[in-house]
Each structure stands twice: as structure tokens, then as C-alpha cells.
């Protein structure tokens, strides 16, 4: 029984192939909510972020406090890394784990990306061998960005907690506080002639708690809502917030773990910089007791986060989706 429930829990958050195939109609207008974080009325802000998380599971934030210049620098060092000769990039290539540089496209029509993946925080789990040494400023810029992205993540998690009537620290603590894991992925999607066919990142929900994504100016990110794929508008200097599986599970399904994907562009290079925020691997994560009760019994099993990852990856393999 328990096994079955586990399986249901996880498969319900998986991209199903049929959804990917039938949901290809484009054209819905991009109504993904935009939240201005500079408003002084906190109650209004709580309401906005909670509503966006319940209805969409994805929203953009503006006036978020991350300096524009720093965002630009992060984009510059990322692009400089990918512009290096292949041999130079191979220095930080993956060697068995998920961290490192994933080389050039090797085949298939899904996941037409190269990427660079590495941990950012906490300091004790950082493997600097996967951080590029070239360009020289890579480390300094990335460390500075990490400080800001952590601050913003904690603010957003705080508003989401308070907005549900919980103490401000509830979600941050439930994923391990200072020990929760921040991981950066630089997605590099070269242009493709067959951009209608070639998917940059196949439909998926993010398995962690929340992700904060910085895109370049080339649109491509799409969210699945009401049986349609909707394009996200590019807003200069906005950060895209994506609710992942664990916030969906902790809220007993109240927040949506949005299904999303990335298209490629016919002519332009698309790059995105998501930072994934996840529970510490050994933490048990499930519906919070404060958000469940007789009227609202837990819909999801409490699982060690590491076990959740294993099961989700197994599910991906079953659906013949690439594992990354
Ligand atoms: C991801 C992702 C979307 C994008 O890396 O998990 O959803 O816009 N990327 O690159
Ligand atoms: Ni994603």
C-alpha cells in the first residue's frame, strides 16, 4: 500500500509523455503573473505570491533587489565559458555525478542543451573542481550572485510561509535552513533550424523546493496551464520563480509544481541560469502537519529527499526521458 502511494505521489508530478505530445498547441497569451517586490504593503505581497503559486506555480518577480549589473556579469561569465574551445570546457566536464559541464549535443530531439551544473551552497558541499577557472571572474561573480539569490529565495519562502499563516521560517526550516542546497545550472541552447521539433529542455517539474531562473533575452520558457503551453514574456532583469515538487508536497498540493519546458530558437542562442533550491538530501519531506488535518489528510508520503530523487529519476527512465 505504502509503495503504491509513493508511486502515485511521484508519478503525479512527472511529465507524462502524452501530455507532452498533446499539449503542443502554442499561442496562449503569456499571462504568467508578474509580482513587484518593491510594494510596501506586505499583506498584498503575501497574497500575490501565494495566489501565483496556487494557480500557476510559476511567476516573475521584478524590483527584487539583485543588482542589474551583477545579473549582467553572471550572464557575461557564463557566455564566456561556453565560448571557450571544447578542450578548455572539458576541464570541468562531468565525471559520473550530475555536477560539471555536459558537452555538445549527441543525438535525439529532446534536451538539445549543453549545460554547466554545480553546487553553490552550503560551502561544505561545494566542489570547486566543477567551477570554471576561465573566465577568471567566474568564481567571484558566482559567489556574489549566490549571496543575493539566497537572500531573495529566503524572502520569497518567507512570504509564502506567512501567506499560508505559518511562521516566516517554516519553509526554509523544512528544507534544512542554512544546510539546504543551492545548485546552479547554466543551460546553453544553440539555435536550431527545427525549433518546432527540437525541445531545449523536455517538459518536467523541478524536483526541489523552488527555482529562481534568470533567462537571457531570447524567449523559450513555456509553462503548461489549462492544457496549453504558454510562453513567458521576457522582462528585462526579472527573475522567474518556479515552484518545485517539494513545495507542492509540503503544502499538500496547494501550490502547483508547474510543468514547464524550454524551446529552442531558430536563429538565436538561448541561455538560462536557474538556481535550484532543494532540501538537504537526508531530510524527510512531506505535507506539513500545520497544513493538514482531518478535513485535509496528507495526500503525499513523507520521504527522505534523496529517496524521492532516486524514484523520480527511475520514473524518467521509464518514460524514456533523459536523466539529468
Ligand atoms: C531547468 C529548466 C528552463 C529554461 O533547467 O530545469 O526548466 O528556460 N530550464 O532553460
Ligand atoms: Ni526546470
Rounded mean pLDDT, 124-150: 98
Which atom of ligand 1 lies closest to the CA of 242? Answer: 7
Dist. CA 54–CA 170, nearest whole Å: 18
Per-residue pLDDT at 320: 44
Which of 30-34, 46-50, 281-285 has the weakest average pLDDT? Answer: 30-34
Q: What share of the chain is helix, strand, coil (3-state, %, to 5)?
A: 35, 25, 40
CB atoms within 10 A of CB 27: 8
Calculate mean pLDDT across residues 140-145.
98
User: Can you give the pLDDT at residue 188?
Assistant: 92
* More reliable by pLDDT, 317 or 3: 317
Beta strands across the sheet bearing 228-231: 199-204, 260-263, 221-225, 228-231
Q: For 99-124, write each residue's pLDDT tens digit.
A: 999 876 555 555 567 899 999 999 99
Task: Quickly state the pLDDT bin for 295 (edges 50, 70, 90).
Answer: very high
Confidence of residue 235 (pLDDT cuts 50, 70, 90): very high
Q: What angle do CA 111, 221, 177 make, to 5 degrees?
A: 90
Centre of ligand 1 from the C-alpha of residue 116, in Å: 12
Q: How far apart are CA 285 and CA 279, in angstroms?
A: 8
pLDDT in tens, 175-207: 999 999 999 999 998 888 776 667 788 899 999
Per the CB < 8 A criterion, the answer to whether 35 and 48 are in contact is yes
pLDDT for res 107: 54
Q: What is the pLDDT of residues 6-43, one digit of tens each?
A: 333 333 333 443 344 334 444 445 489 999 999 999 99
How many Å apart are CA 324 and CA 114, to the nearest integer? 11
Of the listed ranges 76-80, 85-89, 319-323, the least confidently predicted one is 319-323
Strand-pairing partners, residue 189, are 270
Confidence category of residue 267, pLDDT binned at 50, 70, 90: very high
Query: What's the pLDDT at 105?
Result: 56
Q: What angle do CA 34, 35, 39 make, to 5 degrees?
A: 145
What confidence score (pLDDT) does residue 186 get? 97
pLDDT confidence of 170, banded at 50, 70, 90?
very high
Strand 100-102 versus strand 228-231 pairing type: unpaired
On whether the CB atoms of residues 274 and 73 are closer than 8 A, the answer is no
Q: Which three cell numbers mark 310?
A: 532516486
- Whole-number Å distance between alpha carbons of 29 and 232: 9
Residue with cell 507524462: 16
- Can you give the pLDDT at residue 118? 98
Identify the residues whose C-beta falls under 6 Å from ligand 1: 185, 187, 201, 206, 215, 220-221, 260, 262, 272, 274
pLDDT of residue 9: 36
What confidence score (pLDDT) does residue 26 get?
46
Pocket test for ligand 1, best of 262, 275, 309, 321 (most atoms within 8 A of CB): 262
Ligand nearest to the CA of 206: 2
The span from the CA of 78 to the CA of 208, in Å, is 23
111 DSSP 8-state letter = -
The best mutation among 198, 272, 324 to test binding of ligand 1, ranked by most ligand atoms within 8 Å of the C-beta, falls on 272
End-to-end CA distance of the chain: 29
Residue 154: pLDDT band with limits 50, 70, 90: very high
Query: What is the model's pLDDT at position 190?
Result: 87
Unique residue bearing C-alpha cell 506567512 = 162
Percent of the chain with pLDDT over 70: 84
pTM to 2 decimals? 0.89
**pLDDT for residue 256 is more than 60:** yes
Amino acid at each position: 500500500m505504502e509503495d503504491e502511494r509513493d508511486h502515485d505521489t511521484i508519478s503525479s508530478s512527472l511529465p507524462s509523455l502524452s501530455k507532452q505530445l498533446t499539449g503542443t498547441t502554442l499561442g496562449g497569451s503569456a499571462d504568467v503573473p508578474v509580482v513587484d517586490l518593491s510594494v510596501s504593503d506586505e499583506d498584498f505581497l503575501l497574497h500575490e505570491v501565494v495566489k501565483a503559486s496556487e494557480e500557476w506555480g510559476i511567476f516573475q518577480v521584478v524590483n527584487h533587489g539583485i543588482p542589474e549589473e551583477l545579473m549582467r556579469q553572471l550572464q557575461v561569465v557564463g557566455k564566456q565559458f561556453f565560448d571557450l574551445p571544447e578542450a578548455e570546457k572539458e576541464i570541468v566536464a562531468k565525471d559520473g555525478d550530475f555536477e560539471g559541464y555536459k558537452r555538445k549535443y549527441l543525438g535525439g530531439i529532446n534536451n538539445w542543451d549543453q549545460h554547466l551544473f554545480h553546487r553553490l551552497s552550503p560551502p561544505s558541499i561545494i566542489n570547486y573542481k566543477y567551477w570554471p577557472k576561465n573566465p577568471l571572474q567566474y568564481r567571484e561573480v558566482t559567489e556574489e550572485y549566490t549571496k543575493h539569490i539566497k537572500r531573495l529565495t529566503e524572502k520569497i519562502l518567507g512570504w509564502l510561509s506567512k501567506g499560508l499563516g505559518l511562521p516566516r521560517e517554516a519553509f526554509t526550516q523544512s528544507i534544512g535552513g542554512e544546510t539546504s542546497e543551492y545548485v546552479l545550472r547554466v543551460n546553453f541552447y544553440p539555435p536550431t533550424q527545427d525549433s518546432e521539433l527540437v525541445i531545449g529542455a523536455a517538459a518536467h517539474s523541478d524536483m526541489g523546493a523552488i527555482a529562481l531562473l534568470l533567462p537571457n533575452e531570447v524567449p523559450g520558457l513555456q509553462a503548461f496551464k489549462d492544457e496549453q503551453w504558454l510562453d513567458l514574456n521576457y522582462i528585462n532583469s526579472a527573475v522567474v520563480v518556479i515552484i518545485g515538487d517539494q513545495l507542492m508536497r509540503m503544502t499538500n498540493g496547494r501550490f502547483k509544481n508547474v510543468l514547464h519546458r524550454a524551446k529552442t530558437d531558430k536563429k538565436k542562442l538561448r541561455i538560462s541560469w536557474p538556481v535550484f533550491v532543494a532540501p538537504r538530501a537526508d531530510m524527510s519531506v512531506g505535507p506539513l502537519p500545520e497544513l493538514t488535518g482531518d478535513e485535509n489528510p496528507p495526500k503525499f508520503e513523507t520521504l527522505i529527499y534523496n529517496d524521492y530523487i532516486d524514484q523520480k529519476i527511475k520514473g524518467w527512465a521509464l518514460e524514456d526521458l533523459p536523466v539529468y
